[in-house]
Amino acid sequence: MPDIEIHRAHHLGLKAARVAAEKMADHLGRKFGLTGEWAGDVLSFQRPGVTGSLTISDKDLALSVSLGFLLKAMKGSIETAIREELDQLFAAAKPKKAPARPKKGR
Helix (H) or strand (E) holding 62: strand 60-67
Q: Is this model's pTM higher than 0.85 or not?
A: no
4-92 maps to which CATH number? 3.30.310.80
Overall average pLDDT of the 1-16 stretch: 90
Q: What is the pLDDT of residues 71-96, one digit of tens each?
A: 899 999 989 988 888 888 776 545 44
Rounded CA separation 103/88 (Å)? 36
Q: What is the pLDDT of residues 34-45, one digit of tens each?
A: 888 999 999 999
Position 102 scores a pLDDT of: 60
CA pseudo-torsion sign 72, 74, 76, 81: negative
Position 85 scores a pLDDT of: 83
Rounded CA separation 72/75 (Å)? 5
